[in-house]
Structure 1
């Protein structure tokens, strides 16, 4: 159900979100909001709500018991190890110090 509220834009561009709407949406002073333009419409969403939407969108791709973060860290460590091995091999071939 769509509800309409009215607000004015101040000279400095500020818009006050009416208190009943802030309360209903769980918005508090200092909260971050996301502004989305859709044609001539402006949508204001609480940051926490947007995070939940993104998490829900990616939920079908999550494999239980698997940590994508841990996998990324492992990949980066393996890549760093390979690069260090290549550098060591190049230094050995060219007779340079390994500490230089």
Structure 2
């Protein structure tokens, strides 16, 4: 497998274990003992370092105005929805 390859075949071990090929581990900067978050996404198994998830989420929400609370926005929406339901 070449160093830049992003494709590899792996076999599922007897206890459901997968071995990530060395070239992929090196490319991703993975080391023994690293924590990975695993999730099912559109029928695929996705493994990510928590730092990568944090970076992606920060980038996604970086355009929000400072001081805006998404929790407050959600609560306000839910209160309005409850008022509409109560008046029906």
Q: Note the C-alpha offset of 1:45.
A: 1.6
**Counterpart-to-counterpart distance in 2, 1:62 and 1:30:** 38
Higher relative contact order (CA 8 A, sep 6+): 2
TM-score, normalization: structure 1? 0.54
Q: Which residue of 2 aligns with 1:20?
A: 23
More helix by share: 1
Gaps of 5+ in 1: 69-100
Q: Which residue of 2 aligns with 1:57?
A: 60
TM-score, normalization: structure 2? 0.60
Three-state SS of the structure 2 residue aligned to 1:60 is: coil
> Which consecutive segments of 4 or more residues in structure 1 shift more than 6 A?
none
Gaps of 5+ in 2: 70-88
Decide which structure has the larger Cα Rg and report it.
1
Mark the CA change 1:62 to 1:27 in structure 2 (over 3 Å): closer, same or farther.
farther
